[in-house]
């Protein structure tokens, strides 16, 4: 019953994205016209371009920074590692509104005009902790002697990291990257406070459109976004389940 209450509005939205009429309550027949019109809308296409640029850029840099941070935290002592992991969890537990306002004030203090740079910097900041949390379990599963064995065999620290450590933790890195991309695409609040007038992502554009009037194009766009995020979450859960099965298999 709870799941029905939660997902009924989403399925209703998806259903009426194929409605031949603009009505949101009466079904008038099946059509794909709203999807065709959606991809002829220059404003939506531009916001889609902004969303993808920001999501790919922030996921790329967040993955690099998050992986490096996870490697550093893993090498620390138990108490220091626990302290850093606590600090890492702060952005995830902080209200999006507080983060958005904080970023807006910070960028104003630094005299940075709102645009791609401010969007990407903000998205990198709140995405890094998720990458760290996905990489850390893989580092804990590493054989502690593998790195030292590689060094004993003549490998440099860089070679040992590239050929021994990174291949082992790559599943966690990929999962973290997908999660960072998903969070970036899905974000609204932080983007609302950090986007410029010419660099508004889809979430902000959808909000602006609903303030004027709810068009069936919004239903179509929301349906596409929901399905994209759903597919990415399924991939993440599949990878995590597969890794868990492998861990249990190796343990037995």
The tokens of 200 are what?
A: 């508004």
pLDDT at residue 248, rounded to an integer: 63
Specify burial of residue 23 (Cβ count, 10 A radius: 0-12, 13-18, 19+). Answer: exposed
Q: pLDDT of 164-185, one tens digit each?
A: 888 889 989 998 999 999 899 8
Supply the DSSP symbol for 112: P
Model pLDDT, residue 11: 82
β-bridge mates for residue 19, sequence order? 30
* Average pLDDT for the chain: 86
Per-residue pLDDT, averaged over 224-251, amounts to: 76
Confidence tier at 120 by pLDDT (50, 70, 90):
very high
3-state SS record for 72-95: HHHCCCHHHHHHHHHHHHHHHHCC
Residue 127 has pLDDT above 90, yes or no: yes
Closest CA to 145 of 159, 162, 165, 163: 165
Predicted local confidence at residue 56, as pLDDT:
95
**What angle do helix axes 96-109 and 116-140 make, rounded to 10 degrees?**
130
pLDDT tens readout for residues 61-117: 999 999 999 999 988 888 999 999 999 998 888 889 999 999 999 999 999 999 999
Confidence of residue 250 (pLDDT cuts 50, 70, 90): low
User: What residues does each domain of the chain span?
Assistant: 49-251
Q: What is the distance between the alpha carbons of residues 77 and 13, in angstroms, rounded to a whole number?
A: 51
pLDDT recorded at residue 223 = 86
pLDDT score at 24: 67
Place of tokens 């027949």: 29
Report the C-alpha gap between 213 and 110 in whole angstroms. 36
Residue 132 scores a pLDDT above 90 = yes
Residue 128 has pLDDT above 90, yes or no: yes
- The 10 Å Cβ neighbour count of residue 244 is 11
Report d(CA 225, CA 238) in Å as an integer. 20
Split at pLDDT 50, 70, 90, the class of 54 is very high
pLDDT digits (tens, 9 = 90+) for 212-230: 777 778 888 888 888 888 8
pLDDT score for 252: 56
Task: Give 150's pLDDT tier (boundaries 50, 70, 90).
Answer: confident
Q: Residues 189-199: pLDDT tens digits?
A: 999 999 988 88
Percent share of the chain, pLDDT over 70: 94
Contact 232, 55 (CB under 8 A): no
C-alpha–C-alpha distance, residues 103 and 80, integer Å: 27
With pLDDT > 90 as the criterion, what percentage of the chain qualifies?
37
pLDDT at 38 (0 to 100):
84
Domain 49-251 = CATH 1.10.3720.10: yes
């Amino acid at each position: 019953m709870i799941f029905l209450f939660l997902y009924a509005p989403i399925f209703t939205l998806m259903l009426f994205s194929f409605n031949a009429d603009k009505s949101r309550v009466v079904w008038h027949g099946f059509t794909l016209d709203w999807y065709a019109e959606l991809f002829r809308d220059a404003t939506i296409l531009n916001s889609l371009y902004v969303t993808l640029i920001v999501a790919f850029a922030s996921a790329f840099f967040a993955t690099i920074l998050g992986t490096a941070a996870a490697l550093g935290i893993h090498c620390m002592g138990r108490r220091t590692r626990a302290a850093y992991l606590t600090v890492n969890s702060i952005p995830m537990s902080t209200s999006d509104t507080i983060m958005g306002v904080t970023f807006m004030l910070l960028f104003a203090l630094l005299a940075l005009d709102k645009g791609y740079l401010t969007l990407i910097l903000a998205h990198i900041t709140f995405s890094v902790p998720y990458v760290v949390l996905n990489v850390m379990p893989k580092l804990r599963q590493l054989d502690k002697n593998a790195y030292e064995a590689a060094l004993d065999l003549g490998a440099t620290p860089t070679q040992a990291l590239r050929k021994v450590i990174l291949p082992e933790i790559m599943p966690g890195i990929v999962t973290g990257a997908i999660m960072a991309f998903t969070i970036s695409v899905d974000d609204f609040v932080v983007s609302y406070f950090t986007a410029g007038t010419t660099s508004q992502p889809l979430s902000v554009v959808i909000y602006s459109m609903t303030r004027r009037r709810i068009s069936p194009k919004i239903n179509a766009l929301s349906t596409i976004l929901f399905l994209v995020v759903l597919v990415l979450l399924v991939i993440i859960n599949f990878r995590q389940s597969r890794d868990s099965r492998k861990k249990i298999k190796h343990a037995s």
